[in-house]
Structure 1
């Protein structure tokens, strides 16, 4: 049986998702922030005969994230997704979302696969004497200016609105360093929830690289988040970046695939 969930199901859903809180940080975060009533968000669950949740499917606007621990009713989830207009975006744990690839009616976009890593403790983190500041709303434009200066970054047209909204809802925080009023390095979180936080936006101006700024700022941010009892997680597809994160205590826990 599959049905749309309501706020009365919240504890049941969280009990199911909390088994893999990092993998499910987007679903958990969206439910904690927006709940079950807005017209831009829905969540459905498949139940077994014992009334236990087998799988869930989250819709956030036109983006869909499925999650399951075992086999699930892919056909029914596809029917739900295709009841919404294009463009439809699909993402999730690789071995789950790959089950949707044979369904041509989904018209899945370009496939992007990344490693998914998690950090649980501060064992590898050091303290620093570098002055590190926590960003506020007034720093948003500087953060985006720094990100735009990085060739590898692709900045969306609505990036300012997204960053402002996430900071105001406490689902994102950013730490930075500066010199003579210019932001030199920045690291951010996104999709923060009561269980976990995703690391994003690690960037340093070209002329300030190889001075240990990014490493120092990540040590500070990571320590603060972990001391709050949350897990840290991140995506990466660059082996060199992966080696850096693993020196900070991250371990691969799977792969994440997006179709866009």
Structure 2
């Protein structure tokens, strides 16, 4: 049986998801930060005959995240998933890959998933000019940067208002976006989103093309990772598909734990 979850399912759902807390960071964050009745978020579960949860789907705006204990995909999910009309469906590779043939209108993107629990910050990097997204204007300025980064196609697939709301939803207790400004615009940024009591996910790491090779991205990342790993004592996770980025993250102490697959809606 598949149905939308409610507050009555909270304990059972979190117990199931926390069997792999890093992999399920997004879904756990949605439950803990937004609950089961938020306007832009909904959580669904598949139940075994004995009443235990065997799979969970989180819908946050246009992004679905799916997790199952068994990699054999149940097609009974398809009417719901297709009805939610998402731009992205993601999760660990072993549970997403069996779904690929059912979504011919989406393109799979395979990524490396990493985590960090230890970090030695570079004391020589000056974080004095770093700012934190606090307002809609801050979020809009970061969006302007990210929307013009060629590699960040996923940002351009969302509307401006949707992405600004995403950054604001993932601020304060739910996350942190740090950025640097130069010449009256944001030139480098990185975000930690989906923050929970134990972890957060790094996304949106970017530097404006005209300001690259100046160490600006390194300043932002150094501060963000230090904030979460050392001061908040939380695990940081991220995924990437650029080997150059992977090399940088390994130097910062991140270790690979899993493959991640994102299905992305095809244009047109």
TM-score (norm 2): 0.81
Contact 2:200–2:236 (Cα < 8 Å) also in 1: yes
Tell me if 1:116 matches 2:110: no
- Aligned Cα RMSD in Å? 2.8
1:236 Cα shift?
0.7
Q: What SS does the corresponding residue of 1:19 show, helix, strand or coil? A: coil
Aligned counterpart, 1:230? 234
CA separation of 1:255/1:179 partners in 2, compared to 1, >3 Å: closer, same or farther? same
- Distance in 2, matches of 1:18 and 1:231, equals 14
1:245 Cα shift?
0.6
Q: What SS does the corresponding residue of 2:115 show, helix, strand or coil? A: strand
Tell me if 1:126 matches 2:122: yes
Describe the superposition over 1:199-229 as per-residue Cα deviations: whole angstroms up to 9, x where unpaired.
1222223443323222222111101112313
1:7 Cα shift?
0.4
Q: What SS does the corresponding residue of 2:121 show, helix, strand or coil? A: coil
Contact 2:139–2:167 (Cα < 8 Å) also in 1: no
CA separation of 1:179/1:64 partners in 2, compared to 1, >3 Å: closer, same or farther? closer
Contact 1:118–1:251 (Cα < 8 Å) also in 2: yes
CA separation of 1:3/1:147 partners in 2, compared to 1, >3 Å: closer, same or farther? closer
Contact 1:189–1:198 (Cα < 8 Å) also in 2: yes
1:71 Cα shift?
4.8
1:143 Cα shift?
2.0
Contact 2:179–2:188 (Cα < 8 Å) also in 1: yes
- Distance in 1, matches of 2:218 and 2:55, equals 38
Structure 1: unaligned runs, 5 residues or longer: none
- Distance in 1, matches of 2:86 and 2:138, equals 33
- Distance in 1, matches of 2:123 and 2:166, equals 30
CA separation of 1:149/1:57 partners in 2, compared to 1, >3 Å: closer, same or farther? closer
Q: 1:185-196 counterparts in 2 under 5 A? A: 185-196=188-199
Aligned counterpart, 2:27? 27
Question: What is the aligned length?
Answer: 256
1:238 Cα shift?
0.7
1:63 Cα shift?
4.2
Describe the superposition over 1:160-188 as per-residue Cα deviations: whole angstroms up to 9, x where unpaired.
54334532552342222344655442222
Aligned counterpart, 1:159? 160
CA separation of 1:163/1:172 partners in 2, compared to 1, >3 Å: closer, same or farther? farther
Kindly name which structure, 1 or 2, has the bigger radius of gyration based on alpha carbons: 1
Describe the superposition over 1:222-249 as per-residue Cα deviations: whole angstroms up to 9, x where unpaired.
0111231322111211111100011001
Q: 1:19-168 counterparts in 2 under 5 A? A: 19-38=19-38, 40-48=40-48, 51-60=51-60, 63-71=63-71, 74-82=74-82, 84=83, 86=85, 89-103=88-102, 106-122=103-119, 124-130=120-126, 131-135=128-132, 136-137=134-135, 138-154=137-153, 155-156=155-156, 158-167=159-168
Contact 2:205–2:217 (Cα < 8 Å) also in 1: yes
Tell me if 1:201 matches 2:204: yes
TM-score (norm 1): 0.83
Q: What SS does the corresponding residue of 1:110 show, helix, strand or coil? A: strand
